[in-house]
Chain A
């Protein structure tokens, strides 16, 4: 009957077409996808990595899955599942498949108590537990955040150390230059020393040669002079003397 009402309201064409495939129903509850670095063979389209869900699947009346109601909805409308449930219970009771014996009352009391506690304290308990969940999540987030921060600091320290090592390279370079300068100075000092030593030696040789030559000359001169003097006879001396006198006289007459 209800389906006829649905047809009358023009709900039917689309919904009846969909009635056969429950997979085309609106999805009420689905697990979220978690994205992380994966193996290259990984098939992420058909086998995504799923997160822990935040909320459970929706239920009605505390425990009956919403999907069951949605299964009824296209065929029977909103009240269908309730009518079905009530009809089922009526049938079961009337046929005494469910026997009303002394424990039946216990069942009613039990569910009434649970429903009462659920209605009276459910929200408060949920609030307390939600707060706990939030606290735990916050702690986890803080843990991750602190880890990230410490890793960030470690990276900064590493970069600083690398920069300092670069400065160390410059220092080593300048030290090398310094040593090169010292080596150059030492080289030049030694070159100068060699030059001076060689010059001294050459000077000495020059002096020796000079002295030798001087002495030889002296000796030669002395020898020639003494020989010349020796070779001069008294006669010649006398002639020379006279010649000098004559010269002096001629000079005197001219003066």
Chain B
């Protein structure tokens, strides 16, 4: 699988047009359907290669985009989500600088 290729599991004849928001491998149990005791095994089963991580992020991005940004009568919600998300991200990144401005010693 080269850079920019479709996933190896994707077969046009079976799966139809490529959906970038979809995982074409063998589906595991949903994370939200797990019991707490099953979580470590579930994490152990995950493919942790950089490619897998990148494709996961790409799928999540496309799922978000198809759900909020690409419908015909989209709302400004995705823009707000982007603003809030980037605010939180940059707050986290700059937190060690902002922490200099704390006023109270004891909480």
CA–CA, A98 and B98, complex, Å: 9
Q: Are B80 and A63 within 8 A (Cβ)? A: yes
Q: Are A59 and B91 within 8 A (Cβ)? A: no
Interface status of B52 (Cβ within 8 A of chain A): no
Within 8 A of B (CB), among A42-91: 42-43, 47, 49-50, 52-57, 59, 62-63
Most buried by A among B12, B15, B68, B77: B77
Please choose the segment from A21-29, A162-170, A243-251 that sits at the chain B interface, where 4 or more of its residues have CB less than 8 A away.
A21-29
Closest to A100 in B: B103
Interface status of A9 (Cβ within 8 A of chain B): no
Interface status of A38 (Cβ within 8 A of chain B): yes
List the A side residues contacting B107 at CB < 8 Å: 94-96
CB contact under 8 A between A50 and B73, given known A43-B14, A96-B102, A99-B101:
no
Q: Are B30 and A23 within 8 A (Cβ)? A: yes
CA–CA, A107 and B83, complex, Å: 11
Interface status of A142 (Cβ within 8 A of chain B): no
Within 8 A of A (CB), among B26-84: 30, 32-33, 35, 66-78, 80-81, 83-84
- Of B30, B32, B87, B103, the residue contacting A107 (CB under 8 A) is B87
CB contact under 8 A between A62 and B32, given known A31-B66, A38-B16, A107-B87:
no
CA–CA, A23 and B31, complex, Å: 10
List the B side residues contacting A53 at CB < 8 Å: 66-67, 70-72
List the A side residues contacting B32 at CB < 8 Å: 21-23
Closest to A136 in B: B72
Contact with B along A12-28 (1 / 0, CB 8 A): 00000000111100000
CA–CA, A128 and B104, complex, Å: 50
Q: Are B33 and A137 within 8 A (Cβ)? A: no
Q: Are A52 and B70 within 8 A (Cβ)? A: yes
Q: Are B16 and A47 within 8 A (Cβ)? A: yes
Interface status of A118 (Cβ within 8 A of chain B): yes
- Of A54, A59, A95, the residue contacting B75 (CB under 8 A) is A59
- Of B16, B68, B78, B102, the residue contacting A42 (CB under 8 A) is B16
CA–CA, A130 and B71, complex, Å: 12
List the B side residues contacting A50 at CB < 8 Å: 19
Q: Are B68 and A62 within 8 A (Cβ)? A: no
CB contact under 8 A between A133 and B73, given known A22-B33, A94-B107:
yes
CB contact under 8 A between A63 and B71, given known A21-B32, A31-B66, A41-B14:
no
Further contacts, 13 of them, CB under 8 A, given A52-B71, A53-B67 = A29-B67, A43-B15, A47-B15, A49-B16, A52-B70, A55-B71, A56-B69, A63-B81, A63-B84, A96-B107, A99-B102, A114-B83, A122-B76
**Shortest 3 CB-CB contacts between residues of A and residues of B:** A63-B80, A22-B32, A101-B101
Q: Can you name 22 A-B residue pairings with CB atoms under 8 Å?
A: A21-B32, A23-B33, A29-B67, A38-B16, A41-B11, A41-B13, A42-B13, A42-B15, A47-B22, A49-B16, A49-B17, A56-B68, A56-B73, A56-B77, A62-B77, A63-B78, A63-B80, A63-B81, A99-B101, A118-B76, A130-B73, A133-B72
